Amino acid sequence: MTYRIGSAEGFYGDDVLKALPMIMGGHVDVVCFEALAELTLAILQKDRLADPKRGYTFDIRTIAQQILPEAFKHKIPLITNGGGLNPLGAAEMVREVAAKMGLTGLKIAAVTGDDLHPRLSELQAMGESLAHLETGAALDLNEKMIVNANVYLGAAPIVEALRNGADMIITGRVADPCLYLAPMIAHYGWSWDDWDKLASGIVAGHLMECTGQVVGGNSLALIDSINPRDLPFLGYPIAHVEADGSFILSKTPDTAGCVTSATVKEQLLYEVHDPAHYITPDVVADFTTLRLEDLGSDQVRISGVTGRPRPKKLKLNLGRMEGYMRELIFTIGWPDAWKKVEQLKLMIDATWAKLPIERIEYHYLGLNSLYGNIAPLPEYPLEIVVRVMFTAQNADILKQAVRLMMNNGLSGPAGMSISGTTIGADPRIILGLWPTLIARERVVPEISYFEV
């Protein structure tokens, strides 16, 4: 009997209710919900600043209200990192919701210890430079306001919570594939240095952590075969894992979408750098040794994954407040369209000459906004849509810049117009990510239990 792991969330806002047919149909033994992209924690910080009880993903409420009752009835544990910056607050909310629904005996675990924001000065004093992982630049804690600092935890605290009988486990920043690896370890009792098995579990997690992307979503390979009307209803992925770590990747039976060697290949390399060294907190996985067999009927078997010892350092991502950006879109048509674009740019330069605007970027939608200069621009276009992006430290400067441009309404190049929706838009915060590494021993995960 294989152990079956379902994946019902790949980002904050995903359709978590896709867990229901997995659970009601008896197709899974556990369901994981992966909610945290690199940016998500910085976004959740805004919620937490507004209300200290928040800072977790709202999807957890949906999970608690609509999925948990069924999962608890079927004894299917639910695991999510959607606790974001406030796993304890999320667990308390779930406890209240569960109590109202009468789910007596339910045990919720909250995993914390990833939030290092309050400890940054202390960590630097202990000798952690927190230098930028890509550029090597030193981190000055006072240079820009730091919004959040979360280290990527591994599977261990989730494994412990599962062994202690938790029905729902809510974490903060646990590395995406480790969320899925944890129940495999808890079920099969894999040892923490059984690198090949751990790596195989990581590959299963990596393939499932973006839900729709392995069952027909975002697939260039399926461009001619997928029915676009099926896309909103794709059945989300399920891995059938053997005790040796090998697994069959499949999806919820009797649902739309497909799992083929092509969809698996596309997802295998998604957001991957060196495929021979896929680094996670629990193991370094080597994707180059694996075998992939398309068994048909939405089943792809993966075996032969190998692993190497886990890294001594863990990845820590800081979010820093770096200013604001704003967008304006202008439309310019024939005749002399390019000449008028140049006139627009010079007029903008003159209008904003006295404002502390930091960057101004011009892109021509439909001509070079996605692919830059990989193809030449047309010489005599009938129309040009000019997207102007500009930044400043202060949102008010951007508002003033827009007002000044509006004053030019009747004084611009001939026939120019501006997109009304962009006039009324608000400046957007620029949150810069600062990835760094810290020694593993600095990080101590904790588990708190909440019972109904």
Partner 1 sequence: MTKRLYDLAYGRAGDKGDIANVSVIARSPEAYQELKAKLSAERVKVHFGDLVTGEVMRYEMDNIEALNFVMYGALDGGGTRSLRIDGLGKSLAGALLYMTWDED
Please give the residue ranges that form the binding site for partner 1 (CB under 8 A).
38-39, 42, 134, 213, 218-221, 261-262, 265-276, 287-292, 319, 322, 325, 359, 361, 363, 365, 369-375, 387, 389, 391, 430-433, 435
CB of 277 to partner 1, least distance (A): 9
CB of 430 to partner 1, least distance (A): 6
Q: How many CA atoms lie within 13 A of 169 on its CB side?
A: 30
CB of 235 to partner 1, least distance (A): 20
Contact present, 159 and 182 (Cβ < 8 Å): yes
CB of 341 to partner 1, least distance (A): 17
C-alpha distances in Å from residue 90, one per residue of 48, 59, 93, 212, 266: 12, 10, 5, 25, 34
C-alpha distances in Å from residue 70, one per residue of 19, 76, 403: 10, 8, 54
- Between residues 57 and 112, which has the closer beta carbon with respect to partner 1? 57
- Between residues 52 and 432, which has the closer beta carbon with respect to partner 1? 432
78-80 and 30-33 strand pairing: parallel
Residue type, 251: K
Cα separation of 42 and 67, whole Å?
A: 27
CB of 407 to partner 1, least distance (A): 24
- Between residues 89 and 319, which has the closer beta carbon with respect to partner 1? 319
- Between residues 387 and 440, which has the closer beta carbon with respect to partner 1? 387
- Between residues 99 and 292, which has the closer beta carbon with respect to partner 1? 292
CB of 327 to partner 1, least distance (A): 9
Check whether the bond before 183 is cis (ω within 30° of 0): no
CB of 164 to partner 1, least distance (A): 34
- Between residues 21 and 212, which has the closer beta carbon with respect to partner 1? 212
DSSP 76: -
Helix pair 337-351, 395-406: axis angle to 10 deg:
130
> How is residue 323 written in tokens?
């200013």
Would you mind telling me the total number of residues written for the chain in this entry? Answer: 452
- Between residues 57 and 391, which has the closer beta carbon with respect to partner 1? 391
CB of 261 to partner 1, least distance (A): 8
- Between residues 243 and 389, which has the closer beta carbon with respect to partner 1? 389
- Between residues 81 and 112, which has the closer beta carbon with respect to partner 1? 81
Strands (E), 263-401: 278-279, 284-286, 291-296, 299-303, 306-308, 313-333, 359-365, 383-392
Q: Is 448 exposed, middle or buried (0-12, 13-18, 19+ CB in 10 A)?
A: middle
Cα separation of 247 and 259, whole Å?
A: 13
CB of 55 to partner 1, least distance (A): 18
* Torsion sign (Cα): 206, 209, 215, 219: negative
SS (H, E, C) 220-272: CCCCCCCCHHHHHHECCEEEEECCCCCEEEEECCCCECCCCHHHHHHHHCCCC
Cα separation of 323 and 429, whole Å?
A: 6
CB of 45 to partner 1, least distance (A): 13
